[in-house]
Structure formats: structure tokens, C-alpha cells
Structure 1
């Protein structure tokens, strides 16, 4: 049965579609009269490749512009960021540099085609999202070696490697707030398990991957607060409108009366004691005077 959740990372299992567009040879007449890439430079690129990367970018964005499917364009922009990071920057530089280089090349395309921009498609695509996309493409890439019958590793070894990688990323999913990342891991889980129905591997190689478990901390944090409100409300109702409340008020009233009586008796005793002490001192003074 086919199963696929829509996520911002769906391109992780479709990257060949976009890869072919970026890897295609540049046509000489495509850039005839276009000067936006002339003398283009970027602190993130070597001078020897800057012009070529700029031209490839404009050609790729022009391809995306021709599409009517907004999802295709959206995923295509995300893959372009991955392509810059993996193929051009060779994973050697921080993810921040990839995002900045993307913006520079996007500006070049805006100079070339002022009527059309792609900013809206990647407006909320941040460094963490790109880092997660890189992980997912690595995961699918390792697994797709099996499906393509590439002999760089034994099938079952590749299966085991992809399962280990999945388990590692599942642990990350437990601690992150990226639901799309977790959903795409679920997509991979179904792809993996469907394939394993026909793969003959040793028993140590899992045929089923662990499920994605999600923990929403908000309800857990709010439970004590809600319980406090509920208990307070129940006590208020009992106190105001039931016989239980009447008994409690009666007991409290009785205790208050007892406390008042005790306080009054204590005050009277203190008054009598003080008066007695004064009289005793007066008697001493009187005796002393008579003895003189």
C-alpha cells in the first residue's frame, strides 16, 4: 500500500529529478546577451567557478519558473540549497554560508528576470531545516543504492546501514520540534518496509523499523496547572453550596470561637498577673518606709 505524508522534505526521495536539471550541460545560446553573471563573485565561491555556478543557477531557476506545480517549485528550491551545500561547497563550510550563497544567486536571477522571484518558496527555510534535509537525502541516498542495484556495497549491508542511520535520526526526532522531519522519517520507514518484503537478508537485518514516537510537552506541563484549577473549583463549590461546606464553616467557626476564648482568658490572666505584681511592689515600698 502506498503511503506518503506531504512534508517540506519530500524532495529527499525525489532529488534525482532536480539533480538532472542542475547537472545538464549549459547551452551556449541560452546565455546569449545575458550579462548578470559577468564578473560575478562571492566570498563563498572560488573565482574560477563563480561565473559557471551563476549561469547554472539562472538556467535552473528558469526551469522552475516554467512549472505550474507550486510543490514542484517549492521542493526544487529546497533541493537547490542542498545542491549548493553538497556539490558546490562540498560540505566543508557552515550551513549558514549555503543559505547566504542561495540568496546571492537568487538576487542574480531577480536581476535577470525581474518579474519573477522565488523568495516566497524558501522564506521560512532556515539553517536547521537545511541540516535536516541533508540528513534525509543521505538516508534516502544510502537506501536507494539498493533499489538501483548499484554495487558499491552489498544489498544487505546497505539495508543495515540505512536502518542504523534511521534509528539515529529517530532519536533526534524525539528531541526536536520539526514535525516535517519526523513525518519524512515515517515516509522512509514505509518505503523501507515495503522494499524489505522482497529483500532476502539475514535475520539480524531488520525488516521493520521502530515507529516514530512523539511527545508533546505542552499538555504535560499544563496538567499540574489544570489540576490545581479543578481542585480549587471543586473545593469552592463544596464550600459554598453543599452540606460539606456548611460543616466546614461550622467547624471553622467553632475553632475560631475557641481561639477567641483562649485569647481572652490569656489576656485576663496577663492583666491579673500584672496587677498582682504592681501591688506586690507597692507593699514592698510600704514596708521599707515603715522600717525607717
Structure 2
């Protein structure tokens, strides 16, 4: 699941590659897909044939591109994402049905078109909630790319894309602070770093948050526990060293020496005070005697 979130930031590039497919390159797979059927779309064979043609053509494009511009896993997950949000959800298909269709197409390519198993390593069903999170992440990066390239919809409104980034990001803060879905939150934290870095250089949107708060929150209880544990370990270590090693005998003489020095200083102070007192008394007596003689 971690990789699924990780590769969402490549989806925009995968989308461009998908949309750049030429119609003439699809002809080979159009005839193959016309004879294919799916139990998940038995009531709409024409639509399934078109989806099949697009997906198999894209798989072939990926296979022919020996040096992938985007990770293979990102390309495969994008097909899954595209099937769900661009094609099938609006037709009432649920997450299980979409995965079933995706699995059919992946296996159909591996067995009927090419010996390359390509996306078979990425056949993991995604829940509806996970797909929703992927969509939010995709929207986050899509708006961020538009913001950086000043390509937001509307005239001179690049700030609307930045505001949308802040809005989507903020919706997940509470969940992340509660420790829910750490993989997603780690990806959000990575986005936060990119956003904050970009906003340091951008001065066109003064009313938009310049800094996104971290998805991570210090755990006060854990911090207190660590401090307590360090204190206990330190105390026990000192006790053991004092009781059972020569370190204790090294400490004691040091303490004794310090105590002896302090005692000597106190004794010298007392002697000084005592001597001063005697001298004062003698001085007083001499004055008294001299007065009587007069």
C-alpha cells in the first residue's frame, strides 16, 4: 500500500502519456478487444471494448519503452486509477468490480498479447477509501503543478490552486496527528516539504498559507516516558558502579577529599575568628588599664 501513495505524484505524467496515444496505434488491439467480453460489463460490451483497446495499447507503449520515464508501478497504478475515476465509477461500478476488470485486462495482455507480465506484479485490490485518498493526493499534486507553472483556471488566479492545496492537506491533519494511515501521512509530509520550499520563493499569494504544518506531532506521553526511562537507567547504572565496581571507590575518596577540604576551610575560619576575638579582648583590656593609671 505504501508504494501506491508514493507513486501518485507521477500520475500527472502517466496521464499525459496515456492521452498521447495515437488512434492508429490502437487498431491492432481494437480488433482483439471486440471479441473479448467481461462478466463485469456484460450489459455494455461496446464500452468494455473501448476500455480494453485503450488499456492494452497503453500496456504496449509501456513495454516498448525500455527506459521508463515513470516507474512501471506508477504506470500500472495509474491504469487502475483511470479505470475507477474516469470510466467505471460513474457507471455505478464499485471498487471490487473495478479491480475485477483491471485484473482481466492485465492478465489478458500477459497471456494473449505479450509474454511480458508487466503489471501482474501490481495486482492489489484497493478499497474505496484508499481510492478516495489517492484522488485527493492526485488533486494535491495536480494543483501544485498548476500553481508552479501559473496554469490555474481563471485569469491571474494561480493562488486558487495554492488555496486548494492547503484545503486538501488540512483535511488530513487530524487523522495524521491521531496516527491513522502513516503511509499516507508520510506522503503528505513529503508534499509539505515541497510546498513550503516553493512558497519561500513565491510572493504572489500573500493571503495563502506560506507554511503547511507538519503531519507529525510530538507524543507528550512518550516523551515523558523516555525521560523517565533515561533517569531510571542512569540511577541504576550509577548504583551498580558504586556498589560493585572500583568506580564507587573512586567516587568516595573524591567525595571525602572534597569534604576534608571543606572541613579544613571551616576549621581555619573558626580559628581565625577565635584569634580575632582574643585580640579584640586584649586590646580592650589594655585601654582599660591605661585609663585607670591616669
TM-score (norm 1): 0.62
> Structure 1 19/152 Cα, relative in aligned 2: closer, same or farther at 3 Å?
same
Deviation at 1:167, TM superposition (A): 0.9
**Aligned with 2:208: secondary structure?**
coil
Query: Is the contact between residue 36 and residue 112 of structure 1 (CA under 8 Å) also seen in structure 2?
Result: no
Match of 2:53 in 1: 55
Structure-2 residue corresponding to 1:258: none
CA RMSD after TM alignment: 3.8
Match of 2:77 in 1: 78
Secondary structure of the corresponding residue to residue 32 of structure 2: coil
Q: 2:23 aligns with which of 26, 31, 43?
A: 26
Q: Which structure is richer in relative contact order (CA contacts within 8 A, separation 6 or more)?
A: 1
Structure 1 residues 148 and 140: CA distance shift in structure 2, 3 A: same
* Structure with the larger helix share: 2
Shift of 1:82: 1.0
1:235-292 CA distance string (max 9 Å, x none): xxxxxxxxxxxxxxxxxxxxxxxxxxxxxxxxxxxxxxxxxxxxxxxxxxxxxxxxxx
The 3 A distance-change label for structure 1 pair 20 and 34 is same
Normalising by structure 2, report the TM-score: 0.62
Q: CA deviation at 1:175?
A: 4.4
For residues 160-179 of structure 1, the aligned pairs below 5 Å read: 160-175=163-178, 177-179=180-182
Q: Which residue of 2 aligns with 1:290?
A: none
Q: Give 1:188 deviation, angstroms.
A: 1.2
CA contact (8 A) 1:11 1:75 kept: yes
Alpha-carbon distance between aligned partners in 1 of 2:15 and 2:76, rounded to the nearest angstrom = 12
5+ long unaligned stretches in structure 1: 1-5, 235-292
Matched, 1:43 2:44: no
1:101-155 per-position Cα deviation (integer Å, ceiling 9, x unaligned):
2112112213323522245532445325433222200211222222232241422
Q: 1:204, CA displacement in angstroms? A: 3.6
| Number of positions where the alignment pairs a residue of Structure 1 with one of Structure 2 | 225
Structure 2 residues without counterparts, runs of 5 or longer:
237-294
Paired with 1:126 and 1:99, the residues of 2 have a C-alpha distance of: 8
Q: Distance in 1 between matches of 2:39 and 2:23?
A: 21
1:140-219 matches, cutoff 5 A: 140-153=141-154, 154-175=157-178, 177-201=180-204, 203-213=206-216
Residues 30 and 53, structure 2, Cα contact 8 Å, conserved in 1? no
For the Cα contact (< 8 Å) 2:62–2:68, is it kept in 1?
A: no
